[in-house]
Each structure stands twice: as structure tokens, then as C-alpha cells.
Amino acid sequence: MVDINMIAENVIFFIFATVAIGGAFFLIKAPKVAHSMVALIFCFTAIAGVFILVGAEFLASIQILVYLASVGLVVLFAIMLTQRQILEEDFE
């Protein structure tokens, strides 16, 4: 007999895994740093979801608090505060 809870848990796990792998791939291939940051946030959130699925709620909360909040905000502010490189076409 097939347990519906086990099937639902497997489907949710594969959704989280797909989001994490897709976020990591887009993190590498993104043309802009801000887009990479959004992909990194999706990746960290999906990993926190996997932690919740395996019953490690403390690790999920640490993942969200430390990585998403602290590291994410620091990198986002670093992106916003850096100066853009001026292209040669702007001097015309």
C-alpha cells in the first residue's frame, strides 16, 4: 500500500532540490551580480526547506537567520555601494 504522506514528502523534497540546483546554476550564469544575489537567496531558502523536511528545524532557522539575513544583506549592501565602471561610450 502506498502512503500518501511519503509521496507528498518526496514531491516537496524534489521541488526544494530543483530550486536549490536551479538557483546554484543561475548564480553562476547570471549576467549581473544583483541577479546572482537573488539566485543565492532562492538556493539558501530551498536548503532551509530541506532541513525542515529532515526534521532539523534548528539548522533551518540558523540557515535562514545567518545566511539569508546576515550574509545576504551584507552582500546586497556591498553590491549597492560599489561604484559602477564607466564605459567609454559615456564620454561622448
Residue at 30 is within a domain: yes
Residue 87 lies in a domain: no
Q: What is the pLDDT of residue 92?
A: 52
Domain containing residue 68: CATH number: 1.20.120.1200
Return the H-helix or E-strand segment holding 34: helix 33-53
Contact residues for 72 (Cβ-Cβ < 8 A; gap 6+): 37, 40, 41, 44
pLDDT of residue 85: 60
Could you read off the pLDDT tens digit of each residue along the chain, which spans 92 residues?
678 888 888 999 999 999 999 999 998 988 877 788 888 888 989 999 999 999 998 988 888 888 877 777 777 787 777 766 655 555 55
Instruction: Tell me what pLDDT residue 50 has.
Output: 92
Specify the pTM: 0.73
Structural domain of 28: 4-81
State the pLDDT at residue 19: 93
Question: How many domains is the chain partitioned into structurally?
Answer: 1
